[in-house]
Amino acid sequence: MGQAAQLVKEARDAIRAVEERLERHPYLEALEGRRVPKERLALFAGQQTHIIESDLRSVALAVTRAETPTARGFFMGALQGEQAAWEALKVFARAVGLSEERAAAVEPLPGAFAYSAYVAWLALYGSSAEFAGAFLINLPAWGANCGRMSRVLKASYGLVGEDVAFFDLFATGSPEFERAAVAVIDEGLAQGVRPERIRRAARLLQGYELLYWDTLHEASHPS
């Protein structure tokens, strides 16, 4: 196992407790129990509108800051993925009653938008290795929850394939994405990026991922 792959494994092991909380998150359990009213799904669409719009700009910035072809290629691929998610999100938003204008008008919640604020920090101040490592370690948990949402939205909320394409985009893991991210990390380590900075980026981004779901759950079940 190479240095980057070992570092990724260690970083994942270090945040396993957070990932376990994501795996059994009450928002997903509430959806599967149909305890989230369909009209409340608009909240998810609105928050993701702000998040994906911000992440598009952040990843584009990462492309311009990338100093090597390896890093530039990785972020170009990530940018294409964000653009595809942006288009698919519009379809999901319409399926839950939000036009593009209304989705943009939903007020972002601080706890939900914190994830994208940190992604923007990585794009501005982090190394390519930190950004790639954080994305790589975050994606499986986000993808698993997206897969669960896709299934329950079709089974219990009357949505069809096109409506949930946003979730399906993330639910299918890509071995090429992982290989490309590991290559960026390897390159960064060789250039002197400290391993603890990559582990820190992964820990923080996964913490903000959990905060997103916590915030969404609280907002979907007002007292």
Q: In angstroms, rounded to a whole number, what is the distance separating the alpha carbons of residues 45 and 117?
A: 18
Assess contact for 182 and 11: CB atoms under 8 A.
no
- CA separation, residue 81 to residues 60, 66, 105 (Å): 12, 18, 24
Find tokens 């603890």 and name the residue.
196
What's the Rg (C-alpha) of the chain?
17
Q: What is the pLDDT of residue 1?
A: 57
Q: In angstroms, rounded to a whole number, what is the distance separating the alpha carbons of residues 209 and 19?
A: 10
117-175 pLDDT, tens per residue? 999 999 999 999 999 999 999 999 999 999 999 999 999 999 999 999 999 999 987 88
Q: What is the pLDDT of residue 222?
A: 63
Q: What is the pLDDT of residue 193?
A: 96
Residues of the chain with pLDDT under 50: none
Nearest CA to 78 among 52, 104, 102, 101? 52
Assess contact for 18 and 210: CB atoms under 8 A.
yes
Assess contact for 170 and 142: CB atoms under 8 A.
yes
Name residues whose C-beta falls within 8 Å of residue 166's C-beta, 6 or more positions apart in sequence.
48, 85, 88, 89, 91, 92, 146
- Give me the count of residues in the chain: 223
E strand or H helix at 203: helix 195-220
Q: What are 95's two structure tokens?
A: 């399926």
**Which domains are seen in the chain, by residue range?**
3-220 (1.20.910.10)
Mapping DSSP to helix (H, G, I), strand (E, B) and coil, where does residue 2 land?
coil
